[in-house]
Chain A
Amino acid sequence: MTDAAIRTEQLTKHFGRVVALEGLDLEVPRGEVFGFLGPNGAGKSTTIRLLLNLIRPTSGQAWIMGVPVGDVRAAHRHLGYVPGDVSLWPQLTGMEILTYLGRLSGRVDTAYRDELIERLRLDPSLRARSYSKGNRQKVALVAAFMTRPDLLLLDEPTAGLDPLMEAEFQALTREAAARGQTVFLSSHILDEVEDVCERVAILRDGRLIEVATLADLRSMNATVYDAAFDGPAPDLSGVPGVTSVESIPDDGIRVTVTGSPVPLLERLTRAGLTRLRSHEPSLEEIFMTYYETPTTQDAEPATRLDG
């Protein structure tokens, strides 16, 4: 039993002419808490739905705990899943839904289920139609965690939770990891994964652009410059190494550059630089450089499908 918790080989999904995911090669070893990051529409949900066999790949293959994802009876014994947008049977109470989903899964630790209900402050005697988005999310979280699955697939699971419940969720995730469960956490917000994940993958426009530990990301060779000018700020598009430019109100621009800063500095000097400060970028800033779209043409296509 040394198979990875998740393995994909050239996993690809096209919806008609729209490329939602292209040639994803990913391996998440057992016991890891893995962050899956990317802007809306990058293909995160598509990937997770492929892993769950809810949609079928255009090409490529994927395995959960060494089991091909198409063999749901075997693969789903290892799984817990929390979607970002939870739909429940409106006329059933929360407890009835948990009972049904528990029986489908086969084995439920009822003591742990009750603890989860307690910790997430869910009232399970209410019918689902009276639940807010956050409460529906809690039902899904309890349903996923209560079977103590080997692998938790979480697709933006905290979308409707308040900060207190979000903290509780992070505690639950850490406890699960401590027990040896694998957690695959998809998000478009770095904060959500920063506290719990060891490694992250970054996805953009259906393509994997980086897999790294957070420590590696932090030590990336990037620098941020705040520059002020005596005239208008220059156009820096096309300057080698520049990954992002944003304007600071009334005070010039903020430029992130990777690799050699020389071309940028030459350009800034020629543009009438009056002041220049540099600092190491925060993780957030590094992260944002991945989100910037390199070209404007292929920016939007997958957006609507991922929602």
Chain B
Amino acid sequence: MASTALPITSGLPRGLRGVFPFLLAIPVLAALQLAVSERYFLVYIASIIGVNIILAVSLNIVNGMTGQFSIGHAGFMAVGAYLSGKFSLETKQLAISLLPVAVSDQLMFIVALLIGGSCAAICGFIVGLPSLRLKGDYLAIVTLGFGEIIRVIVQNTQAFGRALGLSGIPQRSSFFMVYFWVFVTIVIARRIAASTHGRSLWAIREDEVAAEAMGVNTTGYKVRAFVVSSFFAGVAGGLFAHFVPIINPGSFTFVKSIEVVVMVVAGGLGSTTGAILAAIVLTLLPEAMRSAFVALSGGQASLAQKVDQIRMPIYGILLVLLMLLRPQGLFGTKEIWDVIPRLWSRRRKGLP
């Protein structure tokens, strides 16, 4: 569960530990960006995977670590997508003076993402403050309701294009940007889990009465976890809006929320690694099915077109199987970074 610092960073001076992972990740991501920049389909799929990873990892903070059941993640994603998309659309013609256009565009993109994330976080706060006093099913119903409210509002607002959605948002997203945010989300989720705040969240999940008696402000912690989670959902939505040609209310339905919940549950409630892995698998699955069906039907696309319809029953069957065979999810509450050092030290001691 709550893990200690990685052995790599423990030898560093304190001031450096905070930024070290980023110093390492940014050059790697930049190199990858150069390698994949021309392969558009690959980048597109990778971006969808990235967005889903951000959604799953952030939802895991609420559903996994804190043990609250929220099923309105698509609502927060929609807030982020529409607001950052709208911002980019409105400021399309603007550029920051004295900077090259590409740099200025990327800076504006970051501003748009932060706007989307922050507005989603504010929504998270407003929704969370009254509803996190509720327990279990009630919270699920409130968050579900919130997601639907957002979708209906968007569907009926002229500024957001009603049912047609927003189109023409500048396609500023890139492999680097998506995976930079994936990295930020994972690092922050990990740091929360290993901090005194994360331990308080685990405590709330384990026993709320005892946590409260030990001085944990349970409502406050739940709201803060919810706010962080919705911020990243908003950022994920913002990223999404900048690489798909069009966003419409249909992208942020209840089904999308459930998809994210399935990822978190399948990966193991409370495991960031599990959420990442499940997000990758469950995003690739429909694509793999699509190509498999195309191959099976000898190039005819009729069956392949139905993938989106048969996707949900397959998710259902997978979940049922998973709950029967491994009820704690793929990873349970374990993390890959907890398991690897142990295996490593075991091998050094000459044990199997």
Check if A and B associate: no
